[in-house]
Structure 1
Amino acid sequence: MFDNILVSAAVEKAEDISIGDAAVTAVFGYAVVFAGLVILMIVLYCTGAYFKSKDAKAKAAADAEAAKKQAAAPVVAETKPELPLAPGSAGHVKLFDVPDKEAAMIMAIVAEKMQKPLNELHFISIKEVK
């Protein structure tokens, strides 16, 4: 019984509202929604900034700890310095049961078939299939 009265009162009220009142109500509703979104955006930004600063502090502490350990560690002379790569070189190739001469021929054939310069190709390993 009361439900019918409330529904009919709401229907009558919706019919009585003017266009100006509806516009004001809509604008107010949009303003509330956008204000909520702005507040949510501010909260997320602040949370992100907090965690970034927390990570930066942890990284700085780890770097300081590593620097202390490195300063305390004895100095060891390097046995073999790493040779610089030639211009256009793609690094080292692992050869498995393949002589250097055959590997060079395979790389040259692949470069020829792909119509690419050899220094633009990157060979990781060459393995003989038995």
Structure 2
Amino acid sequence: MFDSNFFTAAAENVKEMSIGDAAITAVFGYCVVFCGLIFLMIVLYCTGAYFKSKNAKESANAEAAKKTAPETAPDTEKELPLAPGSAGHVKLFDVPDKEAAMIMAIVADKMQKPLNELHFISIKEVK
């Protein structure tokens, strides 16, 4: 790839460095590396501070929104989370809750299925 004349020509052009020149070159190289590391550390610190302040602003806004939100009256019906396996609300037409529960239990027993696997949409009394 390279012929032997390349290396001999390169070796002839290299001047001898004194110990002082080598020390100055080494110290300058170390300073460049450490300045680069310090600069990188400053950039990372500033980026972290930016995102922390952004997160603090968002949490402060969320707290302010939570405090200013009107509280619902206890009389109003809240949407409760559904139990695991439940199918939601059942509309009852002229049927008391106790009778609706009894009907659902009877249907589940006759179908030989667990109650939480059945989905009742509405129960209406036939007159």
TM-score by length of 2: 0.49
Q: Give the TM-score normalised by the residue count of structure 1.
A: 0.48
